[in-house]
Amino acid sequence: MSSAVAFVHEQLTQKKNFPAFKAGDNITVNYRIIEGNKERIQSFKGDVIKKQGTGSTATFTVRKISDGIGVERVFPYASPNIESIVVNKVGQVHRAKLYYQRKRSGKSARIREKRMAVAAAADKA
């Protein structure tokens, strides 16, 4: 019975194709904000601190430093207000939850960028 409910729920909810990202990545979330009768898109650029949950209740937390103050925002994956997600940098971290970033500021808060191999054929062409 529960599989039938899950199937109907899956059919009714629209799937968004977001790029694959993980904790440590630097992303920009373009979020639709409704103020009164006006609607605009606001960008929130920062590092992914954590991803949690599965299915329609899955969320991810993005942290940025704004005027020297750490700001974290939790976004649900299933939110219809998320316009798009852009992956800026792929970070190299050894943990799934980066709570230690909350205590850090300045250079110690940097996340090392993962270096990608460049195809040799692309260089010659």
pLDDT in tens, 35-93: 999 999 999 999 999 999 998 899 999 999 999 899 999 999 989 899 999 999 999 99
pLDDT value for 46: 95
Q: What per-residue confidence (pLDDT) applies to 10?
A: 67
- For the cut 80, the answer to whether the pLDDT of residue 8 exceeds it is no
Distance of CA 9 to the CA centre of its chain: 24
Q: Which two tokens stand for residue 20?
A: 């694959």
Give the whole-angstrom CA distance, residue 65 versus residue 14: 32
Entry pTM: 0.78
The average pLDDT across 5-20 equals: 74
- Give the residue with greater pLDDT, 121 vs 118: 118
| φ/ψ of residue 19, rounded to 5 | -70, 155
